[in-house]
């Protein structure tokens, strides 16, 4: 008997799937029918999508509160009026002196190793790492510009778009999510206070606010980095106080120009990262060098054998 001969089943498995279970209103699909039926076959993915939408959604908190940064936003440059290669960039006299100092750290034949500190210097001068900053660094280090672009697009500390006067980076990695009041409460407080969500800049251009991974101050969680400073052991109230003080300092004129900005570090009052519960062990001297160590010349005084 030829394979495939014999009585034709009344319904193929595909017909059973889609005519009886998933889409009861669809007519049975005859695989030997006219080409017009092909369009029905192509509707199968759409049927799947429709059903997927009807399934109950899992309840979970997203890992990231910020806007997703897709790979092209991280690595692709598009010319813009404020960021294109025709805009000139030169290091200031002061920064040229600093650049010379940096270059002295490396053997002349390896001066391209200075690409990261020079990009950082350019970012500090220009406000962000524009394509012109990258090109100037490539020129100074005699590197192909593409090699500099590769570095600048790999490391997220290089902002390739302008940011506000205060660049607020909130850590939402697990220790910060769990420590103290938790970074979720801080994200909420900043969002409410600034009126923007992570990944955006306030209309007055003062604050850019993004969500980042661990900044290495987990023991003082939750924390944010604002420009070069760490503010730690935060509460929703303390972060709002800091942001208000920064805004006042930036906008105050005349008598109010001396607005005091809270000092960086733990907002809880503890010193650096000491135990917030106080001293809990090693509360007494267990090893006293005065009584437990041999005195100088003690061997000389011992009777000779």
Q: How far, in Å, are 60, 84, 96, 134, 160 from residue 88 at the CA level? A: 48, 9, 16, 11, 16
Does residue 216 bind ligand FES (CB under 6 A)?
yes
Does residue 217 bind ligand FES (CB under 6 A)?
yes
SS3 231: strand
> What is the C-alpha to C-alpha distance for residues 84 and 64, in angstroms, rounded to an integer?
31
Does residue 221 bind ligand FES (CB under 6 A)?
yes
Q: How many residues bind ligand FES (CB under 6 A)?
A: 11
Stretch that binds ligand FES, among 139-147, 197-205, 218-226, 239-247 (CB under 6 A): 218-226
β-sheet bridge partners, residue 232: 266
Dihedral sign (CA 151, 153, 157, 163): positive
Does residue 267 bind ligand FES (CB under 6 A)?
no
- The secondary structure of 194-230 as a DSSP string is HS--TTEE-TTS-EEEEEES--S-GGG-S-EEETTEE
β-sheet bridge partners, residue 210: 169
**Are 19 and 29 in contact, with CB atoms under 8 Å apart?**
yes
SS3 260: coil
Does residue 246 bind ligand FES (CB under 6 A)?
no
> What is the C-alpha to C-alpha distance for residues 239 and 252, in angstroms, rounded to an integer?
19
Tokens of 45: 């993915």
Stretch that binds ligand FES, among 88-96, 156-164, 210-218, 285-293 (CB under 6 A): 210-218
Tokens of 105: 């750290």
Length of the chain: 305
Does residue 175 bind ligand FES (CB under 6 A)?
yes
Does residue 173 bind ligand FES (CB under 6 A)?
yes
Does residue 190 bind ligand FES (CB under 6 A)?
no
Smallest distance from ligand FES to CB 228, Å = 15
Smallest distance from ligand FES to CB 152, Å = 24
Smallest distance from ligand FES to CB 218, Å = 3
Does residue 187 bind ligand FES (CB under 6 A)?
no
- Of the pair 227, 244, the CB lying nearest ligand FES is at 227
Among 214, 249, 250, 273, binds ligand FES (CB under 6 A): 214
Smallest distance from ligand FES to CB 65, Å = 14
Among 223, 234, 239, 246, binds ligand FES (CB under 6 A): 223
Kind plus residue range of the DSSP H or E element containing 183: helix 183-194
Residues near ligand FES (CB under 6 A) are 171, 173, 175-176, 214-218, 221, 223
């Amino acid at each position: 008997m030829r394979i495939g001969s014999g009585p034709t089943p009344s319904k193929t498995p595909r017909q059973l799937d889609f005519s009886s279970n998933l889409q009861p209103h669809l007519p049975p699909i005859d695989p030997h029918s006219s080409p017009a039926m092909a369009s029905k076959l192509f509707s199968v993915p759409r049927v799947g999508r429709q059903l997927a939408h009807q399934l109950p959604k899992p309840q979970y908190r997203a890992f990231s509160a910020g806007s997703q940064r897709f790979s092209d936003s991280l690595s692709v440059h598009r010319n813009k009026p404020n960021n294109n290669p025709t805009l000139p960039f030169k290091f200031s006299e002061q920064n040229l002196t600093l650049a010379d100092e940096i270059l002295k750290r490396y053997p002349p034949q390896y001066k391209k190793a200075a690409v990261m500190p020079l990009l950082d210097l350019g970012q500090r001068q220009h406000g962000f790492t524009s394509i012109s900053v990258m090109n100037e660094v490539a020129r100074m280090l005699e590197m192909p510009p593409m090699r500099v672009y590769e570095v600048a697009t790999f490391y997220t500390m290089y902002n390739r778009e302008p940011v506000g006067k205060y660049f607020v980076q909130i850590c939402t990695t697990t220790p910060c999510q769990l420590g103290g009041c938790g970074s979720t409460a801080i994200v909420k407080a900043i969002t409410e206070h600034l009126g923007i969500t992570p990944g955006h800049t306030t209309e007055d251009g003062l604050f850019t606010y993004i969500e980042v991974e661990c900044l290495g101050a987990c023991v003082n969680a939750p924390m944010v980095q604002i420009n070069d400073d760490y503010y730690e052991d935060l509460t929703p109230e303390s972060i709002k106080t800091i942001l208000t003080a920064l805004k006042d300092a930036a906008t105050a004129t005349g008598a109010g120009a001396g607005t005091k900005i809270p000092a960086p570090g733990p907002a809880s009052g503890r010193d650096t990262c000491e135990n917030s519960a106080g001293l809990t062990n090693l509360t007494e001297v267990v090893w006293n060098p005065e009584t437990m160590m041999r005195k100088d010349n003690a061997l000389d005084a011992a009777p000779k054998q």
